Structure formats: C-alpha cells, structure tokens
Structure 1
C-alpha cells in the first residue's frame, strides 16, 4: 500500500463508496428537514468521519494484518462479558426463565455469543485453509459449541440463525477436508457426552428447556406491529430520531426498519443497495485473496453476521456495537485494497507506456 497515502480518500469500489456517501447525505438531509440535531450529527459522522477513520486510516494502519486483527479484536472484546456472566451470575443461581448473565436481557447475551462465534468461524476457516493440526481445529470447534450453548441458554433466535448460517458456510469449506469432518463429528459426540454426564442436571435441564422454548416462542415477539406501523407512517425523509420512542416506547429491533422510521425511504433503499454490494465485494474478496491471505474470509463472515443480526436489532448508530465497528472496518479493508489495486494498476500501465515510448 506504499503508493496510497494515509490521507487519500477512498474511491473504489464505486458502488460501496458512493452508496455510503449518498446514504450519509440523506441522513443529514433527513435531520435538517425534521429539525433534528441528533440525526444531523449522525449524518456528518457517517459522511465525513467514518470514511476517513474506518474506510481509510485504520485499514492502512493495520495494513496486511487487518483481516486477522478484526476477528481477534472482536473475540477479545466480547468474550470477557460472556465469561463474567457465568462467574458473576452462575446459571444454577439464575431465578429467571431466561438466562441473561450480566446483561439487561437474554437477547444481549445471545448477541454477544453470536458475535463471538463469528470470530471463531473465521479462525476455523483460516485453520482449515492453512492445514492446521487436528488439536487446533478441535479446540476451536469446542469453543464454537460452547458459544452455541450460550445462545441456546439465552433463547436468542436471531443469534441462533446467525450461528446456523455461518455454520453452513463453514461446512462448505470443511467438506473439502474429509479428515476434519470425521474429527469434528467425534468432537460433537464427545461434547454431547460431556453435557450429559458432566454438566449438572439443573443446568442441562435449563438448556433443554430453552431449546423447547425456541420452538414455542412467538415468531416476531410482537415486533410485527412496530414494523407494520412504521411502514404506514413512512416518509421520504423519515420522522426524526424520537419516532420509535414516542410511538412505541422501544426501538425497531431491525436495522432497516430503524432507518426507515427515523431517516426515511430513500436512506433505507440506499443502505439496502450498500448491503447487497457489501456481500458481493466481501465474497469477491474471499475468492480472490483466499490463497494469499489466511483471514480472507473475515469480510464475508463479518458482513453475514452483521446483516443477519440486523434482522433482530438496530445496529446503526454513532458507533453502534462491536459488530458494527468490525463491519465498517471490513468494508474499509475491501475499499482500501480495491483502491490500492486500482492505483497500482494505473501506475504499472504508465510504467509500461514509458518503457514502450523509450523503446520506440
């Protein structure tokens, strides 16, 4: 990245960069029309500071280590909260039907476990790609199963959906290594045996109870009323930052609905385009750099985790959550890499032209 200055603004890939700029502009415009200082502030943050910090400076500072630092930071950032939950508020002392650990509600615990599982999936795919030993794979897979156990204890369906989607992606990679598949099956069986014979009966019973509750739980937990009302009230440039609190007393529990209610139809359509583009470029990044980068799967796994979790939570804010920061950084990695490749391509073409002119 030597030909790319730290302060050069990102320009490639255009669908990602310009859809983000337009999205930010319409957030600011929404705030201006609704006389909402909070939304205007967010629009300025999105339009100016996120491209500079997350799409330019931080990816360049992390350089070739960016795709590894993102999942490592994510894992180290959320794991202590999960560990603290079981230390401070043990499962067997929980007086509630749903285990929530140190969090305000069980969904937040499940959210953290889903984010943790995303980082572990990245480590696993990296380990498979680099032919790591069975011991390393086994430890990582055991951590993955533990994160699944936390999700089930929390009875968090959106987080469980994240885990299932990421696991399907991981299995596609694992099927290319038959010996790892056999070892993983043995690990799963061994973990189940531990759960049956080692884990105390009250904890095991609670886990089984939460699994049955997932099936009986209301599909949208009453959110369909909020979403339907938001569609009825939708405006071209939104209804302001206090729309959900004023009308429902709680958030939208969906990133796209949240943007629709606060910022309007145009902003929601643009961010949908940005989301689709981010999936396309994250997948392209993985395909192009999988052989030369150990953690080339990072943008794709983080993007998938972010947008699936977005189905049950509003994740865009001034900074959002840990997965929001990881998602923005992942987009920054793609943007920086694409911009650098474009600059290098133009530079090499000019050099070839000079050599050709000299020979002529």
Structure 2
C-alpha cells in the first residue's frame, strides 16, 4: 500500500506498530502449541532455500531479504496466528476497521478532488486495489448470507440484511470505478460471478432446485437493479470515462494491456532458473512488471516462482474444500474468494505484500488447522439429507 506524502508517515508508524504487537502477544502467551502443515511448510522452506540461491547467483542480498519476508508471512499466517485462535472473523473485521477510515475520511475532508480518484494513496490503482479488496471480502460474506437465505438454515439472514450488504457492495464498486482501475473492477465482477457459481453448486448438491431457480431469478433482478442505478445516475459517467473509454482508447492504439504485454514478453524471453535480481525491472524494462507472478519470475526465476505458485494452488484447494463444506461459518467463502481476488488482481498489477495478499494468506491460514475445523464441524454441522420414504427434507 502506497500512501501520499501527507499520510505516509502516519501509515508507516501504524503498520509497523501493529506488526510488532504480534511478538509481545506470543511471549505473553503460555503453552503455545503450533501445528505445521508439513508438506506446505516444506515447500516454503524450499522456496526460502532457492531464494537464497537466486540471491547468491545474482549477488543481490535484497532477494534473500524478500524471500525471508515471504516466508515470515507464511509462518505468521499459517502457523503462528491460527494457533492462537486467530479466525477469519478477525481477518474480516480487521480489514474493514482499518481501511474504512482510510477510505472515508479523505472523502469527507476533500471530496472527490481528482479524476481518477486516489484518496490518500499514491496513485489511483492503489486506491482501486484497496476498494476492490474490501468489495471482494464483503462479497464473500454476502454470498454466504444469500446461500443461507435460500437454504433457510438461518432465520437471522433476512432480506433486509442481504439488501444492506448489496447496497454496501454497490458503494464499494462505485469507489473502484472512481479509481479507474480496470483490473480491480474486473476482479470484483469475476469474484462475484465465481462465488454465485459455488452457491449454485451447493444448492444443486442438496437438491434445492427451487432455491436454485430463486437464486438465478434474484441474481438477474440484482443485475437489472444495478444496471438501472448505473444508467440513471452519475455512476455511468464515471464508469464510461474512467473504465470503458480507457478500454476504447487503448484498443484504438492497439495496446489494451498498456505496455504490459511487451514487458511480460521480454521477461519471459530473458527469464532464467534463478532470476535476474531485484533491480531487473528498473534496469532492463524501466517499468514495473504489473503482474505479481511475472515480477517473481523476472527477479527470483522459474524455480522460486513455481514453488510459490504451488503453495497458492494448495491454498486454493483448501479454500474450495472449505467453501463447499457443511461448516456453518459466515466467513466460509472468504479464503477461496480472497485467493481468487489475489490471483486476478495479480494479473494486471503487482500485489506482492499488498492488502489482498495479506487477506488471502491470513484467511487461508485459518483453515489449515485441521483440529479447529473438526471442532467447528461438531458444533455447527449442517447436513441436510433426503429421506426417500417421506420425500421431504429433514435436518440432523
């Protein structure tokens, strides 16, 4: 996250302070019982080892330091914090309590003073990624509530509650459009569509075809409402000039990717097993990679990049398994949706150590603790079965 000069010193102190708070908490806690996901942890140790080889090969200590930071993030997210009752509820609340003020206060103080809008952040794309991350996290909770509403397993999930979350999603979507970030907007839309597909699969799993039809109709109605809101309000003007017109202009110039394509092609052509050093994009391409994985490839090389991708694949399979499980957890979709958002945002921007990466890692880490999943399943299992004789749905 890059802040403007006005807020950068405050942001740096706040972020550093919050990170340092983790270590006193661990020292004060007695009987720490850390559980390691063995295979994934071994992969990350191997990643750290080959990052060291890349550093030696390129004579670049920064590669080693960056590898240590990535490994430390993994340990904190997957091993340490989940072992001290760190849940996805904490991840979700921390995201909104920390970033809603960063988003709302500048709007109240200065209004929409730039176009594209960037708020207190260094550039509009940075603001767009923050708004997109909040949208993606909120959509995960919104999808769970929608599922529970149609399955009728939670009477607390009223239509008003769902409508309120949908309204917040529209507000956050508007902020993404204000930023003019095409990557962020497409990532949010795809995450919503992907999440609706998962909800539909769960309805099919429990033979709720009537509920599935209601979901399809409701989705279509929400789409119509969204279209009308966009078309009949100033929202459309911002959408056209910040997003659509940018696509049209880039397409007319024959470069929809805005020079990203040439950078990616050059990086692939010059890629090696152990990379070209942390300054590769400053010296060889003179512009950033604008892609998390291309950035890793250019700096660290094929071997560390493939290991990092393999860890993400494991995270994704864990997220899918958790999302389609019978655990009655409001944040059940958060790991999978945030990982999807991280990958999608990484396609057009460098997301290494950005907010969406932190949310993806920490939310994935909470579901690695198998013993905690078993405890939750015993308390909150939802397992509808169909009895053939009575031909009606019963719960147990």
- Structure 2 length-normalised TM: 0.73
Separation (CA, whole Å) in 2 of partners of 1:284 and 1:123: 17
Q: What's the counterpart of residue 120 of structure 1?
A: 138
Separation (CA, whole Å) in 1 of partners of 2:330 and 2:273: 44
Q: CA deviation at 1:41?
A: 1.8
- Give the structure, 1 or 2, with the largest relative contact order (CA under 8 Å, sep 6 or more): 1
Q: What's the counterpart of residue 241 of structure 2?
A: 209
Q: CA deviation at 1:305?
A: 0.9
Q: CA deviation at 1:183?
A: 5.5
Separation (CA, whole Å) in 2 of partners of 1:72 and 1:126: 16
Native 8 Å contact 1:142 1:191 kept in 2: no
Question: Where do residues 1-20 of structure 1 align in structure 2 (5 Å cutoff)?
Answer: 6-12=32-38, 14=39, 16-20=40-44
Q: What's the counterpart of residue 59 of structure 1?
A: 82
For the pair 1:168 / 2:193, whether they are aligned, the reply is: yes
Q: CA deviation at 1:17?
A: 2.7
Separation (CA, whole Å) in 2 of partners of 1:193 and 1:306: 30
Relative to structure 1, is the Cα distance of residues 70 and 208 closer, same or farther in structure 2, using a 3 angstrom cutoff?
same
Of the candidates 303, 306, 314, which is equivalent to residue 266 of structure 1? 303
Native 8 Å contact 1:78 1:115 kept in 2: no
Question: Where do residues 151-162 of structure 1 align in structure 2 (5 Å cutoff)?
Answer: 151-162=176-187
1:17-72 Cα distance to aligned partner (Å, 9 max, x none): 3222222221122112222222212223334x334422222112235xx1222222
| Matched residue SS, 1:335 | coil
Native 8 Å contact 1:11 1:339 kept in 2: no
Question: Where do residues 296-311 of structure 1 align in structure 2 (5 Å cutoff)?
Answer: 296-311=332-347
Native 8 Å contact 1:260 1:268 kept in 2: yes
Relative to structure 1, is the Cα distance of residues 86 and 129 closer, same or farther in structure 2, using a 3 angstrom cutoff?
same
| Matched residue SS, 2:335 | helix
Q: CA deviation at 1:190?
A: 5.0
| Matched residue SS, 2:369 | helix
Of the candidates 256, 265, 276, which is equivalent to residue 239 of structure 1? 276
Native 8 Å contact 2:74 2:361 kept in 1: no
Native 8 Å contact 1:158 1:312 kept in 2: yes
Q: CA deviation at 1:104?
A: 2.6
Native 8 Å contact 1:55 1:328 kept in 2: yes
Q: What's the counterpart of residue 75 of structure 1?
A: 96
Q: What's the counterpart of residue 43 of structure 1?
A: 67
Separation (CA, whole Å) in 1 of partners of 2:269 and 2:58: 18
Relative to structure 1, is the Cα distance of residues 204 and 8 closer, same or farther in structure 2, using a 3 angstrom cutoff?
closer
Separation (CA, whole Å) in 2 of partners of 1:100 and 1:126: 31
Relative to structure 1, is the Cα distance of residues 73 and 338 closer, same or farther in structure 2, using a 3 angstrom cutoff?
same
Native 8 Å contact 1:67 1:330 kept in 2: yes
Q: CA deviation at 1:174?
A: 5.5
Of the candidates 319, 327, 340, which is equivalent to residue 360 of structure 2? 327
Consecutive unaligned residues of structure 1, counting only runs of 5 or more, are 342-360
Separation (CA, whole Å) in 2 of partners of 1:30 and 1:227: 20
Q: What's the counterpart of residue 161 of structure 2?
A: 136
Q: Alignment RMSD, CA only?
A: 2.7
What is the number of residues matched between the two proteins? 322
Question: Where do residues 328-343 of structure 1 align in structure 2 (5 Å cutoff)?
Answer: 328-337=361-370
Separation (CA, whole Å) in 1 of partners of 2:199 and 2:146: 7
Relative to structure 1, is the Cα distance of residues 224 and 325 closer, same or farther in structure 2, using a 3 angstrom cutoff?
same
